[in-house]
Amino acid sequence: MEIGKKGWAVEFINRIRTMDPAVLNALIQREAGEDLARFFLSYSARLISRDPERVLENTSSLMLMGYLIRAAEEEIGRRRLAQA
């Protein structure tokens, strides 16, 4: 039985929520790096400070944006493989 995108997202969020902070930080450093982490922090702060009443919508949008960025990275990787 296929878990589906929502299932994977729930599983990932649950793993992150229960992860030791040091392990989570190492994961962020390895997968994103300090520059990207700072960029998202700054972007999030600007977005939320512009309209604090929409924190929930903005948070949801930021999470979805992360997902779409990953999907775009995977698509670029597939295209490069196909061209090789």
Cα–Cα distance measured from residue 61 to residue 21, given in angstroms and rounded to the nearest whole number: 24
> What's the pLDDT score for residue 32?
92
Count: domains in the chain: 2
Whether residues 64 and 78 fall in one domain: yes
What's the whole-model pTM score? 0.68
Whether residues 5 and 44 fall in one domain: no
* Residue pair 47/58 in contact by the 8 Å Cβ criterion: yes
Whether residues 59 and 44 fall in one domain: yes
Cα–Cα distance measured from residue 57 to residue 73, given in angstroms and rounded to the nearest whole number: 24
Q: Per-residue pLDDT tens for 22-63?
A: 999 999 999 999 999 999 999 999 988 998 899 999 899 998
Whether residues 13 and 38 fall in one domain: no
Q: Per-residue pLDDT tens for 60-74?
A: 999 899 899 989 999
Whether residues 15 and 56 fall in one domain: no
**Could you tell me the residue range of the domain that residue 61 belongs to?**
34-84
Cα–Cα distance measured from residue 75 to residue 71, given in angstroms and rounded to the nearest whole number: 6
Contacts for 29 with CB less than 8 Å, ≥ 6 apart: 37
Whether residues 60 and 78 fall in one domain: yes
> What's the pLDDT score for residue 2?
74
Whether residues 39 and 75 fall in one domain: yes
1 pLDDT above the threshold of 70: no
